[in-house]
A and B are shown apart, each in its own frame.
Chain A
C-alpha cells in the first residue's frame, strides 16, 4: 500500500514537473534567443542555452525602437481602462443582483450576445464613431474601446460573485445599524476583493495583449502600444529580426509577470470562489 502511494505520488509529481517544463520551455527559448548572437540563432545546429551570452539585442531594442514609450502607452491604457471597468462593473453587478428588475435577464443575455461579435465586424463602425467624437489616434479613444470590450465579461463575472454572497450578511449589518454605504464598503467589499482582483487582472491582460484596435486606431508613431511595436520586428514571408524580437518580448513580459506575482493570491482566491459559487 505504502509503495503504491509513494509510486503514485512520484508519478503525479513527475507529470507536474513535465507540465511545468512544457509551459516554461517557450519562455526559456525566448530568453535564450534574446541572449544569443544573431549568428548563433541562425546556426544550423541550435542549442537551448546560449553558448556566448550577448546583450546586443537588448541594446538594439533599447536604442532603436520606442519600446519603453510603447510599454508606457500600454500601461496607461491598461491601468486606466481596468480602473474604469471595475468602477462601473462592481456597482452595476450589485444593482443587477440586489434590485430585481425584469430587464436584468435581458441585460445578461445581451452581455453574452455581445461577446459573439468578431473584432473585424465592429471595427469600421467603431472607428467612424470615434472619429466623429475626435477620439481616434488618442489613448483616450483606445481606453474607451478597451473599457467597452472588457466590461461585459467583467460584469458577468462580478454578477456571479455578488450573487454568491448571502443577502443575510447585509441584512445583519443593517440590523446592527450600518448604513447602505457601510454595508457596501465594510461588509461586501472585503468579500468581493478576490473577485475584483481576478476581474481587474482579466481586464488589464486583455488590454495589454490587444493588437488590432491599437494598430488601426493609433496613427501617430508615439502612441503605438507594445503589441504593435513588437509586430514591427517581423517582416515579409515569415522573416523576423529574431534576436531583437526575443529581447523586446522579454522586456514586454516583465510588467505582466510582476503584476501576476503581486496579484496571484487574489487571482487564485477569485478563481476558486468563482468556481464554487458561480
Chain B
C-alpha cells in the first residue's frame, strides 16, 4: 500500500518539479520589443530576420524579438492579443484589415511619430490606404499589392499575337479577342486543352472590386456618413465580361471557378492557359522560382476598360494602442522601412515598394521579372470607395465571395447576383451602422 502511494507521490512531485524547472523566467530587465511578421517565403523571412539582427546590433538598449506569424491565423491571434492586452509591439498586416482594427480603437495613431523624410517618400496612394479623414495614420505602408496579367510568351509567339506594351495597352475587348484566338483543342479529341485565360475566381471579391474601378464602378457608395452597396451598369459590365469569357467564348478555363490565382500557376507553366488575369504581382515570384527553365513569360500593363485605374491595397506595419513602448516601436519601424530595407523587402516579396525613392532604383526598372511594367503601373493605382466602410472585411467573406462564386459557377444571372449582393450587403452593413463605427 505504502509503496504504491510513494510511487504516485513521486510521479506527482516529479511532474511539478519538471514544470517549475522548465518554466520560463519572465522577469527580464530589458524585455525586447515583439515584432510579429507575416513573411512566409524563405527569402523574405531571411531578409526580415537580417534587418532585425542589424537593428539589434546597432541598438543594444532596444532589442527586437522576431516572431513569425501566419496569414491564415493572424486575425485570431491579433484579436485575442488586442482583447487581452498582451499585444506585440509591432505587427505586419494589410491595409484592408487594419482599417477595421483602427475603427475598433485597437491601433496607435502613428501620425505624430512619422518623420518628414518618410512622409514625403511614401506614395500618396499608399498613405491613402491607412489614413483616416481626421489625419490619423494607422499603419506604415511599405508594399503595394496590385493586380497584373501574366502571359506565356511562347504561346503568344506561336499564335502570332503581339502582347501589349506600356505605350499600347490592351482593352478588355483586345484581351477577349486574344483569349478567344488562343482557346483550342490542340490534339483534336473534341475537348479544349488550351484556354486563352485563367482567373483565380475562388475568392474573387478582391479581383472584382479592384478591377471594377477601371470600369467606372465601385460597388460602395457613401450616403451621408454611411455606406451602401449598389451594383450599377459599370459593375455589371465587368461581371458580364467575365461571364461571357467563361460561358459564351469559353476562353476562360472552367477550372478558374474553384481555384485561387496561386493554384492556376501550374496551368500557365504547362500551356493550359495562355494568360493569368488578375493575379497579384507576387505571382511573379512563383514563376521565377518554380517555372521550368525553358518557360518564357511576361507581364502586361493594366488592361484598359474606361480607364487603366485599378484598386490597390498595402502591406503595413502597425503598433497596437496597448503597446507601452510606441515611441521605441516606431523607431524600429523607421529603421525597418528605410528606403534601402523597403527595397530589400519588396524585391524578396515581388511587390511594388511604397517608397518613391525605391521606384527609381535600377532593380525596379528591370525587364527581367517584369519589374518595369509592374512598377510603371503605380501611376494607375487608386484606392476603392470601400476604403473605411465599416464591415467591409465581413462583407467580402459573407456576401461578395459566395454570391460571385455562384454567379461564376453559372447558378444565377447577373441581375439576380446584383440583387442578392445589394440586399445581403445592406443587411451586413446596417449592423455596423448601428455600432456607430466611422472611419
Residues of A bordering B, CB below 8 Å = 38-39, 41-46, 60, 64, 76, 80, 83-84, 87, 120, 123-124, 127-128, 131, 134, 136-140, 143, 179-182, 184-185, 211-212, 215-216, 219-221, 223, 228, 231-239, 241, 244
**Inter-subunit contact A181/B5 (CB<8 Å):** yes
Interface 1/0s, chain B 320-339, versus A by CB < 8 A? 00000000000000000000
- B22 to chain A: which residues have CB within 8 Å? 76, 139-140
Given A80-B18, A181-B5, A238-B202, A221–B71 Cβ distance below 8 Å? Answer: no
Task: Select B86's contact among A84, A127, A223, A233, beta carbons within 8 Å.
Answer: A127
Q: Interface readout for B12-35 with A: 1 if CB under 8 Å, 0 if not? A: 100100110011101000000010
User: What string of 1s and 0s marks CB contacts (under 8 Å) between B33-44 and chain A?
Assistant: 010001011100
With known contacts A76-B22, A137-B26, A138-B24, A234–B40 Cβ distance under 8 A: yes
How many B residues, CB 8 Å from partner? 56
Q: Nearest-CB distance from B19 to chain A (Å)? A: 5
Question: A44 to B261, Cβ gap below 8 A?
Answer: no
- Selected from B24, B200, B269, the residue in CB contact (under 8 A) with A223 is B24
With A120-B76, A131-B86, A234-B72 as given contacts, are A42 and B24 in contact (CB-CB < 8 Å)?
no
Q: Do the beta carbons of B40 and A233 come within 8 Å of each other?
A: yes
Could you say which of B24, B45, B83, B280 contacts A220, with CB atoms under 8 Å apart? B24
Interchain CB contact under 8 A, A237 and B34: no
| Contact assessment for A131 and B84 in the assembled complex, using a CB-CB cutoff below 8 Å | yes
Q: Mark B66-97, 1 if CB is under 8 A from A, else 0.
A: 11101111001100110110101000000000
Q: What chain A residues lie within 8 Å of B76 (beta carbons)?
A: 120, 212, 215-216
Within the complex, what minimum Cβ distance (angstroms) separates A237 from chain B?
A: 6
Ranked nearest first, the 7 interchain pairs of A and B with the lowest CB-CB distance are: A44-B270, A238-B260, A181-B1, A235-B40, A42-B290, A236-B71, A239-B262
CB distance from B292 to the nearest CB of A (A): 6
What B residues does A211 contact at CB under 8 A?
A: 73
CA distance A87 to B14 in the complex (A): 13
What would 11 A/B residue contacts be, using CB atoms closer than 8 Å? A42-B265, A42-B291, A46-B266, A136-B86, A137-B26, A212-B76, A216-B80, A235-B40, A236-B282, A238-B202, A239-B286
Residue picked from B12, B70, B202, B286, most chain A C-beta under 10 Å = B70
Interface check B186, CB cutoff 8 A: no
The answer to whether A221 and B15 touch (CB under 8 A), given A43-B266, A241-B42, is: no
Complex Cα distance A45/B67, Å? 37
Chain B: CB-nearest residue to A44: B270
When the two chains form their complex, are residues A137 and B261 in contact, meaning their CB atoms are under 8 A apart?
A: no
Assess whether B187 is interfacial by the CB under 8 Å rule: no
Instruction: Using A43-B292, A220-B65 as known contacts, say yes or no to A232 and B270 having CB atoms under 8 A apart.
Output: no
| A143→B200 CA distance, assembly (Å) | 42
